[in-house]
Amino acid sequence: MSIIGNSPQYAKAYKIDPILTNGTASYTLQYRGVNKSTLLAEQLIVSVNGVIQNPGSAFTVSGATITFSETLDSADTIDFINVVGESHAVATVSDNAITPAKLASTVALTDTPVRINTNSIDTNIVVDSDKNAMVAGPVDINSEIVVYGSFTVV
């Protein structure tokens, strides 16, 4: 599909396989022969007989089926159905897959920015003058905390 301007780096845009009208209102959405069941009507640009259709009123999507508000006879033409973005299920991250090295260095003051709340701080911490830090919950401080910036306990 042609794109005006810079090509998106992270978006997924593609054209649904051609659909021939046959006198019904419902048709199967496929891309490269595979049913597309995760699409929303608002993600589609649909043209019928040269007219862009309004999602929600001119057509709806449920699963891999697009249903038009009016029956399309064999003289009607679905010019194209373009997908601009695609919804997906949220992935579950494997245990121990995210390490401190994969997080931005601004996330935490120590090399272990994500931790189970053990209710204690057991390593020395220095909060530099250009940094802010925060700790939440009931917490025992069993180490030295030197604050040149700001440190909030909630």
- Express each pLDDT in 91-150 by its tens digit: 677 787 777 677 655 444 455 555 455 677 888 888 888 888 887 777 888 888 888 888
Q: Which pair of structure tokens corresponds to residue 122?
A: 């057991």
Residues 17 and 65 reside in one and the same domain: yes
| Domain assignment of residue 49, yes or no | yes
**Which pLDDT does position 104 carry in this prediction?**
59
Threshold 0.85, pTM exceeds: no
Q: Which of 57, 84, 111 is the last residue of a domain?
A: 84
Q: Which residues contact 28 (CB under 8 A, 6 or more apart)?
A: 19, 35, 64, 65, 66
The label of the residue with tokens 């597309």 reads 36
Which residue segment(s) compose the domain that 67 sits in?
Answer: 13-84
| Domain assignment of residue 7, yes or no | no
Residues 116 and 69 reside in one and the same domain: no
| Domain assignment of residue 6, yes or no | no
Residues 80 and 105 reside in one and the same domain: no
| Domain assignment of residue 5, yes or no | no
**Which pLDDT does position 60 carry in this prediction?**
97
pLDDT tens per residue across span 26-37: 999 999 999 999
DSSP the chain: ---SSSPPSS--EEEPPP----SEEEEE-EETTEE--S--GGGEEEEETTEEPPBTTTEEEETTEEEEEEEE-TT--EEEEEEES---PPPPPPTT---GGGS-TTS-SSS--S----SEE-S-EEE-TT-EEEE-SS-EE-S-EEESSEEEE-
Residues 113 and 64 reside in one and the same domain: no
| Domain assignment of residue 44, yes or no | yes
Q: How many CA atoms lie within 13 A of 48 on its CB side?
A: 21
Task: Report which of residues 45 and 100 the model is more confident about.
Answer: 45
Task: Report which of residues 38 and 138 the model is more confident about.
Answer: 38
Number of domains in the chain: 2
Contact 140, 119 (CB under 8 A): yes
Residues 77 and 112 reside in one and the same domain: no
